[in-house]
Homo-oligomer: A and B are copies of this chain.
Amino acid sequence: MEKLTIVKVGGGILEDQAKLKALVKNFADIEGKKILVHGGGKTATQMADRLGIKTQMVEGRRITSTEMLEVVLMVYGGLVNKKVVAKLQAHNCNALGFTGADANIILAEKRPVKDINYGWVGDVKSVNVPTLQGLLDQNIVPVIAPLTHDGEGHLYNTNADTMASVLAGALSQLYAVRLWYCFEKPGVLKDAEDDSSLIEKLFHSLYKAYQQSGIIKDGMIPKLDNGFAALQQGSKEVIIGAASALSQDRFSGTQLVLN
């Protein structure tokens, strides 16, 4: 199977010019077929503030009103996506930026209202593998913003970690997928305050135990759930690490392992 590398990069890196510059160069250096999935939540919150729109988060997820949807369309789909694309192009990386709505790449449905109404937030239903394959075969490097649609004209805000996970899972049909989550920490830490407490290999059983004992908590849980889901769907490698650990087609941090 041909190799495919999917890199997910979050807001903290996108908004730091020096970190972004390094990430773009290192991503451009990755060999073979590749996809970049990005967030941009911090910029979205800043832009919402400037427009007088209040940001409301529940367990790290953004409540997406009609006004907030316009903000994330602008920030994720336009501002962040196009800046990253232009920078990658300057490194001879043939980036094409789009969202899950484009070419019907990711179909979603509105998250059902249980305790919380998240508004225009979509849960992924399916990934359009043939179209992605067609783009990759054209030597295009997809740069994907975390937005999806329902095929009936509605756009949804969708978590970028989840997008990366479902893309990795679906594309494992065709490729040996490496999924690399880049964030601010060196990986999964036993002690969030101590970078030297890095867990180099995190077995799923240990993850569950650490979760129960409270060693792993908060925002790491959905991120790791997404990572393990990608492994369960057939991804060959899932690593969570610092953006600065990405270099010369290599990445290090915490490797997730099914057991």
Are the C-beta atoms of A85 and B97 separated by less than 8 Å? no
Are the C-beta atoms of A77 and B70 separated by less than 8 Å? no
Q: List residues of chain B with CB within 8 A of the CB of A89.
A: 101, 104, 149, 151, 153
Answer yes or no: A94 CB below 8 A from chain B CBs.
Answer: yes
Interface string of A67-100 (1 = CB under 8 A from B): 0001001111111011101110110001111110
Q: List residues of chain B with CB within 8 A of the CB of A87.
A: 153
A79–B76 Cα gap in the complex (Å)? Answer: 10
Which of B47, B79, B82, B149 contacts A86, CB < 8 Å?
Answer: B149
A77–B75 Cα gap in the complex (Å)? Answer: 9
Interface string of A210-254 (1 = CB under 8 A from B): 000000000000000000000000000000000000000000000
Which of B51, B70, B83 contacts A73, CB < 8 Å?
Answer: B83
Are the C-beta atoms of A154 and B73 separated by less than 8 Å? no
> For residue A103, which residue of chain B has the nearest CB?
B96
A33 CB → nearest B CB, Å: 15
A21 CB → nearest B CB, Å: 10
Answer yes or no: A126 CB below 8 A from chain B CBs.
Answer: no
> For residue A94, which residue of chain B has the nearest CB?
B103
Answer yes or no: A13 CB below 8 A from chain B CBs.
Answer: no
Interface residues of A in 187-204 (CB under 8 A from B): none
Answer yes or no: A140 CB below 8 A from chain B CBs.
Answer: yes
A124 CB → nearest B CB, Å: 16
Q: List residues of chain B with CB within 8 A of the CB of A76.
A: 78
Are the C-beta atoms of A85 and B73 separated by less than 8 Å? no
Q: List residues of chain B with CB within 8 A of the CB of A98.
A: 96-98, 102
Interface residues of A in 123-176 (CB under 8 A from B): 131, 134-135, 138, 140, 147, 149, 151-155
Answer yes or no: A50 CB below 8 A from chain B CBs.
Answer: yes
Q: List residues of chain B with CB within 8 A of the CB of A47.
A: 74
The 8 closest A-B pairs by CB, nearest first: A78-B78, A74-B74, A77-B78, A90-B153, A96-B103, A74-B78, A134-B138, A96-B102
**25 A–B pairs (Cβ distance < 8 Å), ordered by A:** A47-B74, A50-B51, A70-B79, A74-B78, A74-B79, A75-B78, A82-B99, A82-B101, A85-B99, A85-B101, A86-B101, A86-B149, A86-B153, A86-B154, A86-B155, A89-B104, A89-B153, A90-B151, A90-B153, A96-B103, A97-B102, A98-B98, A98-B102, A135-B138, A138-B138
